[in-house]
Amino acid sequence: MNIPFNRPFLTGKEAHYMYQAVYTGKLSGNGSFTKRCQNFFEKQYGFKKALLTTSCTDALEMCAILSDVHPGDEVIVPSYTFVSSALAFVRQGAKIVFADSMASNPNIDPEKLESLITPKTKVIVPVHYAGVACNMDRIMEIANRHNILVVEDAAQAIDSYYKDRPLGSIGHMSAFSFHETKNIISGEGGLLAINDERFIRRSEIIWEKGTNRSEFFRGEVNKYGWVDTGSSFLPSEVIAAFLWAQLENMEMIQNQRKAIWNKYYNGLSDLEKREIIKLPDVPAYATNNAHMFYIICRSLEERTALIKFLKDNGILSVFHYLSLHLSDYYTSHYNDIPNLPQCDRYANCLVRLPMYYELKNEEVQYIIDNINLFFS
């Protein structure tokens, strides 16, 4: 067999809707497909405002601007995350304060937040790793007590919940990804979700290059001009049309991914019972959107050997993030390198298995059999 790590899934309607978008003559952003997608997210998940972006990184950069982050401000970010979670705020001049993960899963440990907060702390960025919710009640309680904004990095968390509340709807604002490796895709693409009404008007202005163009087209002002900072964050209608085909089939996509996830979990559970590996932890307050399936090995050496063994048998598995607090960029700009043992453990020991819609049952079983064989 030859099993890739990821294979983007097409519903069959993407090209059809992209054709429609092209022949309407409206190719730039904020057309009918953009509005359709944004309305979907606002109605489905209760976001007060949803704006499509060209990437999750762009959505996070909008969050950083809306948070009014300036040089000297501090932003708390987990070290075990993608670079964009931190970079968006670095671009505004913020000092990044890295937090450790929980021992049970890679999400930020809320019990370690208080010790990181100073009078300069402006934002906390919880990242819902693998689409599994952080402990948002605890994070919001801490943030509200210290008058700190919360930006949910929900890049992997589409259609996942915390105590029946959609992820991305709890913090002041949030960012989603539709990169081709995600559950719902548009190749490249993202979404900014606003939950605090204070930020709605300015979000549209920043989205439209610092102009009040959206208000003009709604007839709310009689002319539009440059009124704030911003950039060209909105995607073209072609990207929105592709995304719409995916959103129409989201339930089908999610059900299939969850079936694959459950097959992995059941097939590898004996290894966890024997304390050979750790399987994904989904706390009682969280749901599972089957964004990824990972296992945690006992050492870096064991993980390296497993990845090689699987590759030799036609299976592409991959590790994930490297600890950002140990990155070349961070260590060259900061002297106070924190000790974050859980982040480092995940960086050294976590391996992701193939996960995509068209992964067949026999392929999943082949992967399970090979992992069991390796550890035998």
Task: Express each pLDDT in 135-188 by its tens digit.
Answer: 999 999 999 999 999 999 999 999 999 999 999 999 999 999 999 999 999 999
Under DSSP, the state recorded for 182 is S
Local confidence band at 41 (pLDDT 50, 70, 90 cut-offs): very high
According to CATH, the superfamily of the domain at 250-375 is Aspartate Aminotransferase, domain 1 (3.90.1150.10)
**pLDDT at site 216:** 73
Q: Which CATH number fits domain 14-248: 3.40.50.2300, 3.40.640.10, 3.90.1150.10, 3.40.710.10?
A: 3.40.640.10
**pLDDT at site 153:** 98
Residue with the two structure tokens 């964050």: 233
pLDDT digits (tens, 9 = 90+) for 335-372: 889 999 999 999 999 999 999 999 999 999 999 999 99
pLDDT digits (tens, 9 = 90+) for 262-284: 999 999 999 999 999 999 999 99
**pLDDT at site 212:** 84
**Radius of gyration, alpha carbons of the chain:** 21
Q: Residue 24: pLDDT above 90?
A: no
**Per-domain boundaries in the chain:** 14-248, 250-375
pLDDT digits (tens, 9 = 90+) for 289-329: 999 999 999 999 999 999 999 999 999 999 999 999 999 99
pLDDT digits (tens, 9 = 90+) for 225-240: 899 999 999 999 999 9
Q: Which residues of 292-307 are buried (b: 16+ CB within 10 A; e: fewer)?
A: bbbbbbeeeebbeebb
Q: Residue 223: pLDDT above 80?
A: no
Q: How many CB atoms lie within 10 A of CB 141?
A: 12
Local confidence band at 215 (pLDDT 50, 70, 90 cut-offs): confident
**pLDDT at site 225:** 87
Asked if 14-248 and 250-375 have one fold, the answer is: no
**pLDDT at site 56:** 98
Partnered with residue 96 across adjacent β-strands are 75
Backbone angles phi, psi at 256, to 5 degrees: -70, -40
Q: Residue 222: pLDDT above 80?
A: no
**pLDDT at site 81:** 98
Mean pLDDT of the chain: 96
Q: What secondary structure does DSSP assign to 333-366, as a single string? A: H-S-----HHHHHHHHHEEEEP--TT--HHHHHH
Catalytic residue set? 182
**pLDDT at site 278:** 98
Calculate mean pLDDT across residues 207-223.
80
pLDDT digits (tens, 9 = 90+) for 61-113: 999 999 999 999 999 999 999 999 999 999 999 999 999 999 999 999 999 99
Q: Residue 10: pLDDT above 80?
A: yes
- Residue type present at position 6: N
Closest CA to 110 of 130, 147, 136: 136
